[in-house]
Chain A
Amino acid sequence: QLQLQESGPGLVKPSETLSLTCTVSGGSISNSRYYWGWIRQPPGKGLEWIGTIYYTGSTYYNPSLKSRVTMSLDTSKNQFSLKMSSMTAADTTVYYCARLRSGNYYEPYSFDSWGQGILVTVSS
């Protein structure tokens, strides 16, 4: 059974860079049938897509966050990561990692499995 687990600091200072890792078990991040993504959700609010990465290293980022976001893969550890720079209080939110199934043409499609989420607070 696929499991995703987010890890990283729960507290980040303003202007610093957030680094989060998602460890995948029960499935390989090198499987060409899937993509891997990050989504965030401020407490009590809706979902916001951050970005998606494929096993080839191809990345897709939310245009509104693109200048601050970098995603990467570590296939040896079956992990993928998120780095978000210039953190502000507005980035205080729960961050989820998730798997996306691919569509008929191997394009990213729907999220089919989610991690439990990690709350990141930005404060000095």
Chain B
Amino acid sequence: QSVLTQPPSVSGAPGQRVTISCTGSSSNIGAGYDVHWYQQFPGTAPKALIYGNSNRPSGVPDRFSGSKSGTSASLAITGLQAEDEADYYCQSYDSSLSASGDVVFGGGTKVTVL
């Protein structure tokens, strides 16, 4: 059971907009910790997609966007493309066991392009 909750899967047709939710609690996202997102293709390492809730690293297409509100965050993919089919993970910190905050991940969401 992950500390951050993501839907196991989402799907959409090419060109559509899909969103992935990342739900936390008052000890992680709700405590003010930022949310980061990673994209992972089968058999490869995760890659940074969004950091600091809504910032894209250099080279990440602007069809990827992130937001955070309260105890949740969301990743949106607009203009879905076949190459976006991958697993997506959210990450934040949680202070329920450590004052310094422990790294926590969501369980991951598989995006399927129909």
Residues of A in contact with B (beta carbons under 8 Å apart): 37, 46-49, 52, 60, 62-63, 96, 101, 103, 107-117
Contacts and interface: CB of A to CB of B under 8 A. Distances in A.
A47 B89 contact: yes
A48 B98 CA distance: 16
Contacts of B104: 49
B107 interface: yes
B46 A47 contact: yes
Interface residues of B, number: 25
Interface string B26-57: 00000000101010000011111001100001
Given A46-B2, A46-B89, A111 B102 contact: no
Contacts of A115: 45
Contacts of A107: 100-101
B97 interface: yes
Interface of B: 2, 34, 36, 38, 44-48, 51-52, 57, 89, 91, 97-98, 100-108
A117 B45 contact: yes
B45 A49 contact: no
A46 B107 contact: yes
Contacts of A62: 102-103
Contacts of B89: 46-47
A46 B106 contact: yes
8 contacts: A37-B103, A46-B89, A46-B107, A49-B102, A96-B46, A110-B36, A111-B91, A113-B48
